């Protein structure tokens, strides 16, 4: 087991993916690669702040650097619970921004393919999240993917609340949801 000191996560030693036993450099993954990948996803997820263009602008998860997408793909193959944890944090932040801005959930996909699924190129982090969680059957048409999906996932998987950043964001969502339910929209 590797203990990532920056985030106190234990992840198993790199496993060889039978479909793709080599990393992008053509070598089997090693602990150094895993630590670098983990650092990328932790820094991105913890530092992620949905971009706002002002009042009443719905934030979309766009412009994710390729290095982050590739890190999540690789970590998913090594330790999907770690990828699940940090993707959950990102989607909680998106949902919180939607509630804070506009008091409701919005569609997460940036583009909706003709078959109504999740496009791995347009929405790579959503695609990765769904591969891990099986939240949606990606072989069937998905009418709407609400931004509250990450919140719903954490509600069903309370173990994710062990992550302090997830717990803090989850609690902020509860506070704003309670205010919205009471008819208090802006503080």
* 7-41 per-position pLDDT tens digit: 444 444 333 343 443 444 444 455 568 899 999 99
Q: State the DSSP string of 58-117.
A: --------HHHHHHHHHHHHH-HHHHHHHHHHHHHHHHHHHHHHHSS--B--SS--TTSS
Phi and psi, residue 171, nearest 5°: -70, -35
Q: Which pLDDT score is estimated for 62?
A: 86
For position 29, what pLDDT does the model report? 53
Residues 6+ apart with CB under 8 A from 144: 107
Q: Identify the segments of the chain with pLDDT beneath 70.
A: 1-32, 52-57, 186-187
The domain limits of the chain are: 2-181
H helix or E strand, kind and range, residue 150: helix 149-156
Q: Tell me what pLDDT residue 54 has.
A: 60
Q: Kindly report, residue by residue over 70-90, the tens digit of the pLDDT.
A: 999 999 999 899 999 999 999
Torsion, Cα of 34, 37, 41, 46 (10° steps): 80
pLDDT of 6? 39
């Amino acid at each position: 087991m590797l203990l990532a000191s920056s985030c106190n996560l234990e992840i198993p030693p790199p496993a060889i993916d039978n479909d793709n036993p080599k990393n992008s450099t053509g070598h089997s993954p090693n602990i150094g690669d895993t630590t670098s990948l983990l650092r990328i996803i932790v820094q991105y997820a913890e530092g992620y702040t949905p971009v706002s263009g002002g009042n009443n602008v719905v934030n979309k998860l766009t412009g994710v650097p390729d290095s982050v997408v590739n890190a999540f793909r690789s970590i998913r193959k090594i330790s999907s619970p770690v990828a699940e944890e940090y993707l959950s944090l990102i989607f909680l932040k998106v949902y919180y921004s939607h509630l804070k801005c506009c008091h409701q959930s919005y569609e997460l996909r940036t583009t909706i393919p003709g078959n109504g699924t999740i496009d791995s190129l347009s929405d790579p982090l959503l695609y990765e999240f769904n591969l891990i969680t099986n939240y949606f059957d990606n072989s069937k048409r998905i009418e709407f993917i609400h931004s509250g999906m990450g919140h719903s996932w954490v509600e069903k998987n309370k173990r994710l609340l062990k992550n302090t950043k997830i717990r803090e964001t989850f609690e902020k969502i509860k506070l704003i949801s309670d205010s919205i339910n009471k008819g208090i929209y802006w503080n």
